Structure 1
């Protein structure tokens, strides 16, 4: 299981604390592998972008109009977190549905 997120993100910390045998990938330092990012974009669409973030608010309208994948490559902190890959399946966020899908009580 791989958790893609930010080391200073409270939601990612909560997920890491609850999950066993998980590898953490800091998206600012390591990024998200292109194939995982493409699958996540295809599966989650607009939900993959965190449009409530300070990074998003700091972008110009021209920047915001760029394709999602390009934005996420250039600004990894724009990704909603955490993105978790488990046995080839992707989940986004850390709500009750995600926790149930991952077997966390």
Structure 2
């Protein structure tokens, strides 16, 4: 089963969902705003993707919280992500044994075969 994590209003998430829908790939959608992910889930993701990939340093939440000035270590970054899921780059897709972070159509073409 494919699981997509993000927020419905995010442009990248919308593109990813359209991509999956167009290829008939079924998925379960998990909205960070209504069903936040746990620290344990984020720690599992970090085992399959770099923390620097998962942490959205370009988003409004990151800037609003002024996290760059806090000079966080990896443990603190994960803690912030678990309490503020909007710090997670979107979408995060669990597909078979692969974790896909963000939206890149060319990369998706190589990963998702219908």
If the TM-score is normalised by the length of the shorter chain, which range does it land in?
0.7 to 0.9
Deviations 1:2-48 (A, max 9, x none): 00011100110111112121111001211224443112223222111
1:50-89 mapped onto 2 (5 Å cutoff): 50-60=56-66, 61-62=69-70, 65=72, 67-89=76-98
SS at match of 2:50: helix
Q: Which moved more, 1:89-98 or 1:78-87?
A: 89-98
Distance 2:99 2:40 in 1: 12
Q: Which has the higher contact order (CA 8 A, sep 6+)?
A: 2
1:90 corresponding residue in structure 2? 99
Q: When the two structures are superposed, what TM-score results if normalisation uses the length of structure 1?
A: 0.85
Instruction: Look up the match of 2:35.
Output: 30
- The answer (yes or no) to whether the contact 2:39–2:79 under 8 Å persists in 1 is no
> Equivalent residue for 1:41?
46
Secondary structure of 1:91's partner?
strand
Give ranges in structure 2 of 5+ residues lacking alignment.
none
Moved more, 33-42 or 71-80: 33-42
Query: Are the equivalent residues in 2 in contact too, given 1:72–1:79 (CA < 8 A)?
Result: yes
Q: Compare CA radii of gyration and give the structure with the larger one.
A: 2
Count of paired positions: 103
